[in-house]
Amino acid sequence: MKSTFDLSKEEMKTYGYKIIDILVDHFDTLESKQPVHTASREKMDRIFLQEAPNKATSADEVLDFVMKNVMPYAALTSHPKSYSFVPGPSNYISTLADTLATGFNIFSGGWVGSPAAAELEIVTMNWLLKMFGFPVTKGGGIFTSGGSMANLTALVTARRVKCGDDFSKAVIYLSDQAHSSNIKAIRVLGFKKEQIRIIPTDLEFKISFNKLKNAIAKDKLEGNKPFCILASAGTTNTGTVDPLGAIADICEKENLWFHVDGAYGGAAILSKKGSALLKGIERADSLTVDPHKWFFQPYEIGCLLVKDSSWLSSTFSEKPEYLRDIEGNESEINFYDYGIQLTRRFRALKFYMSIKTYGLNAFKEAIAYNIDLAEETEDILRKSKEWEIVSPATLAVINFRYHPLGLELSEKELDALNQEISRRVVASKEALLVTTILQNQVVLRMCLINPKTSIEDVKETFLQCTTFAKEILSEWKK
Ligand SMILES: Cc1ncc(COP(=O)(O)O)c(C=O)c1O
């Protein structure tokens, strides 16, 4: 039987070129679009809710329907005015690399499945190991779907290496600014609440070192088994880097696993200012970096690096009889032995092709530009009588609030004002600028990791914010 899924060569070409034209147009016109596109569940149901259709529909018709109804309802996280969460700037080469990897449906699990895919993962992992000062021969790593999976993979490994099978008394330490994916990972691992120490942060949002040391000492006195400290290298809220060198010292002294979550901030190692801030990262046992953030890759690609690749293989290797024939020899890595997934998409390809095509210098320049852009943004805000910096530009993240000089407002009113500014900006669809909470204050947050964002974009958004602020204040007066 001729496969039901086959299209003629001409049909494939016509369909394929149509999609390429759409993509090229998207990249070409991105800046003239709006970043915010949202809809209610009710509206989405109205458009999409139906039973699985038994009958075929023409490919063109389905594509037209998707272009009309799917793509317009997604925030454009690569838009220059998409400032919130951690944006996804992406790039065109990697987009098409992903298409190639999917098109060939390359299995990136065992060596024999695709030696080239495994080799590219080894090679790109070596690039990353070198960037972060990890040993290239002994070290290793794996690409994951994102930072959450990289953190989970790290913590499984840390527990296996440090505790073996008995982790009933094991305790892990992280700050109240650590990313939520870490708490999720700890929960997935089955730790009880009593085994997790959330250490408060200081005024700069760094883990309180004294409190961390106290907690470890107290746990030891109580017969618990401290096994891991999780530090942030670029917290999501403020870009803060925990004191990595000092934490590495305690980990060494107390024989604890040192995991660094550098999901968004790690990439800053490629810049002079960033590498100074990230000093000590090279002493981690494991490190999460997320290429689909500040390495400008499209979703999904996260990465876990470890000092010793045997920690991964001793944690994740299983040797079922049905995989016997796709095993390589000792030096030929089966990435299914390094993590949770067996069948894996070929993530290394986009990382490889984009770095080869653009050159590492392009990445370095973009990251340095982003850090400078955030500093310039801070400068503008500091010189203004209307704005107050709540957390200064750090690794391209900055937090601030509208708080004009001489304006008598309570903290509650300031919170409401800044929340409403954000709501109106987002409702205008001109910029994606949402709030976070720092030290009980509602603040506006920008994560400026998109090289397409210009200082003019930022100024336009501030102008929009101040216009809304004045509108709100005059409405309040009435
Ligand atoms: C510091 C940090 N860690 C982990 C994550 C989770 O990464 P992902 O969303 O790729 O799973 C994020 C996401 O923003 C993050 O900022």
Question: Does position 328 have pLDDT exceeding 90, yes or no?
Answer: no
pLDDT per position as a tens digit, 2-17: 678 999 999 999 999 9
Across the range 431-458, mean pLDDT stands at: 98
Across the range 64-72, mean pLDDT stands at: 98
pLDDT of residue 1: 65
302 C-beta closer than 6 A to ligand 1: yes
153 C-beta closer than 6 A to ligand 1: no
pLDDT band at 478 (very low <50, low <70, confident <90, very high): confident
pLDDT of residue 90: 98
Question: Does position 329 have pLDDT exceeding 80, yes or no?
Answer: no
Atom 8 (ligand 1) nearest CA? 147
State the amino acid at position 352 in one-letter form. Y
Neighbours of 31 (CB within 10 A): 14
Q: Tell me how far the alpha carbon of residue 238 lies from the centroid of ligand 1, in angstroms.
A: 13
Sign of CA dihedral 376, 207, 264, 287: positive
270 C-beta closer than 6 A to ligand 1: no
pLDDT per position as a tens digit, 228-267: 999 999 999 999 999 999 999 999 999 999 999 999 999 9
Question: Does position 326 have pLDDT exceeding 80, yes or no?
Answer: no
Contacts of 335 (CB under 8 A, 6+ apart): 108, 109, 110, 118, 121, 142, 143, 344
Q: What is the largest CA-CA distance in the chain?
A: 80
181 C-beta closer than 6 A to ligand 1: yes
263 C-beta closer than 6 A to ligand 1: yes
pLDDT per position as a tens digit, 139-178: 999 999 999 999 999 999 999 999 999 999 999 999 999 9
Q: Which of 83, 205, 232, 290 to mutate to test the pocket of ligand 1 (most atoms within 8 A of CB)?
A: 290
Q: How far apart are CA 69 and CA 63, in angstroms?
A: 10
pLDDT of residue 2: 67
Across the range 391-398, mean pLDDT stands at: 98
Q: What is the CATH number of domain 106-358?
A: 3.40.640.10
pLDDT band at 324 (very low <50, low <70, confident <90, very high): confident
Q: Which of 77, 86, 288 to mutate to test the pocket of ligand 1 (most atoms within 8 A of CB)?
A: 86
Say which CATH architecture domain 361-477 belongs to: Alpha-Beta Complex (3.90)
Parse the chain into domains and list their residue ranges: 9-32+39-74, 106-358, 361-477
Nearest ligand 1 atom, CA 236: 16
Across the range 185-199, mean pLDDT stands at: 97
Q: Which of 236, 237, 286 to mutate to test the pocket of ligand 1 (most atoms within 8 A of CB)?
A: 236
Nearest ligand 1 atom, CA 300: 10
86 C-beta closer than 6 A to ligand 1: yes
147 C-beta closer than 6 A to ligand 1: yes
Across the range 88-97, mean pLDDT stands at: 98
259 C-beta closer than 6 A to ligand 1: no
Percent of the chain at pLDDT exceeding 70: 99
Sign of CA dihedral 363, 366, 368, 371: negative
Contact 392, 382 (CB under 8 A): no
Q: Tell me how far the alpha carbon of residue 467 lies from the centroid of ligand 1, in angstroms.
A: 33
Question: What is the residue-averaged pLDDT of the chain?
Answer: 97
Q: How far apart are CA 442 and CA 454, in angstroms?
A: 25
Token pair for 175: 């700050």
pLDDT per position as a tens digit, 355-391: 999 999 999 999 999 999 999 999 999 999 999 999 9
